[in-house]
Amino acid sequence: MGLLDTTKRVFLGESRDPLDPHVFHQLSLAAFLAWVGLGADGLSSSCYGPEELFVALGPHRHLAVYLAAATALTIIVISASYSQIIELFPTGGGGYLVATRLLGSGAGLVSGSALVVDYAMTIAMQVAASVAALSSLTAAGVPQHVQLVYSLILVGVLIFLNVRGVKESVQFLLPIFVLFLVTHVLMIGYGIGKHFGAMPLLMADTVKDTKLTVGQIGLFGTIALMLKAFSMGGGTYTGLEAVSNGLQILREPRVKTGRRTMTLMAVSLSITAGGLILCYLLAGVFRVPGLTLNAVLVKKLSGEAFGAGALSSSFVWMTLVAEGALLFVGAQAGFLDGPRVLSNMAIDSWIPHRFSLLSERLVTQNGVLVMGLAAVGILVYTGGSIDVIVVMYSINVFLTFTLSQLGMCVHWWQERHAEPSWLKRFAINGIGLSATATILVITVVMKFREGGWVTVLITSSLVGICVVTRKHYRSIGLLMKRADDVLTTLPRISVRLSDTASVPKVEPVSRSTPTAVFLVSGFNGLGIHSLLQVQKYFPRYFKNAVFLSVGVVDSAKFKGTDEVENLKRETESDLNKYVEYARMLGMHAEHHMAIGTDLLDEIVELCRLVKTRYDRPVFFASKLIFPQENLANRLLHNQTPFAVQRRLQFEGMQTVILPIQVSV
């Protein structure tokens, strides 16, 4: 094992075997751990969502009573509607899959692009808020440029944790989540209990403030003010969609686990967000420069409970550390679900196919890296300022919410004759649609000119890139299909190859026999073209043909033991067809296969195996060649043939790349 491999094992851990029947149970999350990994995003948003809502009201602070109730109600409505999505789509996929299946590929593209951008902003927002919360521990705060540096470091730490694996990262963050729950239950419980006697006065002041506000700015002005404050606190609802997006990582039975996780999220978030807003009013706190509103609140309540002293300071310190740490945990949702959305879009050819591949640790490593780098870009652009990020934030999540709810409404309407309880289900998603669509419109209108246009521009640009990418893949797919139609359906072999039964084994030929080794991927025109090209350029030279193929376990296949077994059977069936074809051409033929996540490593191991059996092998791989090679072509199409050629030639094995010219 080389130095690089040893370093990878030390820092990232040992590789996981996708063929291990226990690996899915080992990697999956029970409801409580899912609540930690997926629900932390929503729960941690209570550290900044209620504050942004409260501050946006300005001097009309008592209007927050109405918004506290509206916030709790909105959380419950969205959660209930997403529970139905979990039931209808038990394999996961969330907003992207719902919109694609129920509204069409165009709606799915918009929803997926919105989710990707939103998750990148989730990471940036949560990390920046985490640093801000921890900075509140100091009396004078921390300069903004220093906070930015800390934020970038934390993003790097999260990238490292998630490259190691999902469950490992969640277990590492579990104590932080528990500490947050304990400290905030105590703080909110004490805040409301201590000042509960002031509740009648609060209600009276709310009525008085409402009348005064209407008198000053009019009824429509009052409504507009409340809507603006509600939109500024829209970040409170982000994360509620995370469970439906990440069902693949939940423990069986996934629907039951998912709904239980959603219930935990809804209850904890509604109590925390609503309770904090009430505590702001009951305790009479105001924003202090350099401190978050939650920091001001906990310092005041801790002083009332414990007086001045070490106990009070210790509780303040624990609470603020828990907030900052949980915000750090909340960024985890972006790394859990963002790469999965990218993976689903890659499977549908909206983005490069490599984003569906899994690493040795069975995580979508490319997606993790992209989400991390995107968050870094957002932090650098905004200077790590929460006030700037919050304006750009939460627009996209409500776009996804709205498309998902609309798709579900369409589904229940279409199923009204077959589903006895369709009306109840339609009503739940209908209410969710009304709520999310209203918030979406308000959020876009209120935030657009203040900086929300950046989010719209980024999302629109991503949609445009995806459209161009899929157009390219489709044009290549049509060319490949023509080759498949011609080469895999030749009259001479169509009858023989229709039988996918196992090809009988034959005795191996001499070690010294010239052997052509073909690296193939599925039974297709490319593979047949390679075989025929070798026959054309080396007539009657190669008497032996060996076909090598790797069944790549990507995110589409890594959903259970049955899917992996199906992949194994399909790979072997395709290789049997190649063997049968080569034997009809008068060649001795055999095949070897492997199942894994790293195509390059697996195919090189198979080539080494062939080298031990034959003295004169020549390895052939096919590569699409474009008239003008550029960065886009290299990104959209894997460069595995070149990588294999370098590895094999370094080990003394002759490798030839057969060019397949493509004009698009």
**Blockwise average pLDDT, block size 10, the chain, 664 residues:** 46 45 45 68 78 85 87 86 82 78 91 90 87 76 82 88 60 77 89 87 89 89 86 72 69 76 84 88 83 87 85 88 80 78 84 69 70 92 82 82 91 89 90 87 82 89 93 78 59 47 59 90 82 85 90 55 75 89 86 79 87 91 74 69 82 85 60
Please tell me the distance from the alpha carbon of residue 541 to that of residue 149, in angstroms, as a whole number.
63
Q: φ, ψ for residue 550 (rounded to 5)?
A: -120, 125
Structure-block tokens of residue 423: 């009306």
- pLDDT the model gives residue 485: 59
Residue 369: phi, psi to the nearest 5?
-65, -40
37-61 burial string, b = 16+ CB within 10 Å, else e?
bbbbbbbbbbbbbbbbbbbbbeebb
Instruction: Give Rg (Cα) of the chain.
Output: 29
Dist CA 112 CA 355 (whole Å): 14
C-alpha span between 477 and 423 (Å, rounded): 42
Helices within 284-394 (DSSP H only): 293-306, 310-330, 332-347, 365-382, 386-392
- Asked if residues 115 and 396 have their Cβ atoms less than 8 Å apart, the reply is yes
Distance CA 594, CA 462 (A): 36
How would you list the strands of the sheet with 617-625, edge to edge? 588-596, 544-552, 515-519, 617-625, 655-661
Tokens of 442: 């308000």
Contact 40, 330 (CB under 8 A): yes
Q: What is the pLDDT of residue 226?
A: 87
Name residues whose C-beta falls within 8 Å of residue 216's C-beta, 6 or more positions apart in sequence.
Answer: none
A 10 A CB-CB count for 15 gives 17
3-state secondary structure of 421: coil
Q: pLDDT, tens digit, for every residue of 125-146? A: 888 888 888 887 776 667 888 8
Q: What is the pLDDT of residue 631?
A: 67
What pLDDT, on the 0 to 100 scale, is given for residue 609? 92
Q: How far is CA 117 from the centre of its chain?
A: 11
Q: Which of 323, 54, 315 is nearest to 186 (CA)?
A: 315
Q: Specify burial of residue 31 (Cβ count, 10 A radius: 0-12, 13-18, 19+).
A: buried
Kindly list the structural domains of the chain, giving each domain's residue range(s) and its CATH number in brackets, ordered by start.
Answer: 3-471 (1.20.1740.10), 491-661 (3.40.50.620)
